[in-house]
Structure 1
Amino acid sequence: MGVDERLAAAHPFVPSADARAVVLVEGISDQVALEALAERRGRDLDAEGISVVPIGGAQALGRFLNRFGPQGLDVRLAGLCDAGEERDFRRALERAGLGSDLTRAEMERLGFYVCVADLEDELIRALGAASVEQVVAAQGDLGSFRTLQKQSPWQGRTIEEQLRRFMGSGGRRKIRYARLLVDALDLTHVPRPLDLVLAHVGRELTSAR
């Protein structure tokens, strides 16, 4: 479990009482990224009754599905996970009675989307390594990144791999850069899972009115 998942588990997020939709994500960095993207798209999630809830890791999904799903508050659900946690998400959805032998396409129809690797990988690929380095430099972190590049486990790796490792290290760096990288995105090149999970809850709520 990463730093932001541990923080999410230690400080559970409570959606507003009038929430009509909940987007379940693994950690605080995912929450920050989605809220920042919604803001850039001109959306007010609070006004729409949408809460993005960090659950503290994929293993906790079942508990949140029970709380917010058909057997609980029965609000509209969506979610975002890393590729490595797709199996856990699929099993939790199936145990909650939301399908059986779910494929990724069927998970997406339910509103649950999978990052190719993880959030950082999606954002780095969308921006390009050169643009991400510019963000790192603007934050005064380029020296720390160059130090990581010189470390033997990371020498010879692609710059994308090095950047992904850098984002995932250093305490709360992952959370801080989630917002910074989303703010740097060209809105015509937004990572597919992030765009679609927000579009899903917006579409679902519009159709329910």
Structure 2
Amino acid sequence: MRSMSAACQTPATLVLLEGPSDVAAVTALLAAQEGGGERSAYELVDLGGVTNVGAHLSRAAEADPSPRVVGLCDAGEARVVLRALQRVGRAIAEPQELSEEAFFVCDRDLEDELIRALGPGPCLEVLEEQGLADRFAAFGRQQAWAGRPLTERLHRFCGVASGRKVLLAGAMAAALAPGQVPPPLAGLLRSLQDADARA
């Protein structure tokens, strides 16, 4: 599934993202960065799971013209992306080299990056704005989570209800000031600025 249609049939750059929460976060950051302007040089692609990255890379390599492909993944999935890039001829040997191919790795996962960048207090404000503050308070009183660090409770809370991860990824990303954007997302945004410059 693709999250947006580019103005041209074959965009100059495809942005491969593991799932809808990644798409929501990147979309929110792009909207803040660009003021919601038209984006025709690239297309955000929801992979529906990182295991689909190889198929998308292969299709991109076979396309004429072949688009540039960039992306974002979680640390636990970095080797999956690495092997997929190697299969299409990219000369990289370790996950630490993924950024050289404009694939950026979240340290743990996207939600962890957003929570650490935004900070616990502002995250609670986001929950309040989204009408989730009372549910989070009730969640924190559960025996399994009582007394756990706030950041751990926030991380778990993001994923325990259908649709919540997407909602909060977008809301937390939108709440970030420009200087707060986590390094993996900042790197991805820079790669898209390059894509626009080339278009």
TM exceeds 0.5?
yes
Root-mean-square deviation (CA, aligned residues, Å) is 1.8
**What is the aligned partner in structure 1 of residue 89 from structure 2?**
97
Matched, 1:22 2:14: yes
Matched, 1:108 2:89: no
Secondary structure of residue in 2 paired with 1:155? coil
Please list, as runs of the form range in 1=range in 2, the aligned pairs for 1:71-82 lying within 5 A after superposition: 71-73=62-64, 74-82=66-74
Of the three residues 102, 114, 122, the one matched with 1:123 is: 114
Larger relative contact order (CA 8 Å, sep ≥ 6): 2
| Distance in structure 2 (CA, Å) of the matches to 1:167 and 1:136 | 10
Please list, as runs of the form range in 1=range in 2, the aligned pairs for 1:1-209 lying within 5 A after superposition: 12-13=1-2, 15-16=5-6, 17-42=9-34, 46-68=38-60, 70-73=61-64, 74-104=66-96, 106-206=97-197, 208=198
Q: Report % sequence identity.
A: 34
Structure 2: unaligned runs, 5 residues or longer: none
Contact 1:76-1:201 at 8 Å conserved across structures: no
Q: Is the deviation greater in 195-204 or in 108-117?
A: 195-204
| Distance in structure 2 (CA, Å) of the matches to 1:60 and 1:46 | 28
Structure 1: unaligned runs, 5 residues or longer: 1-11
Secondary structure of residue in 1 paired with 2:188? helix
**What is the aligned partner in structure 2 of residue 4 from structure 1?**
none
Which consecutive aligned stretches of 4+ in structure 1 deviate over 6 angstroms post-superposition? none
How many matched pairs? Answer: 195
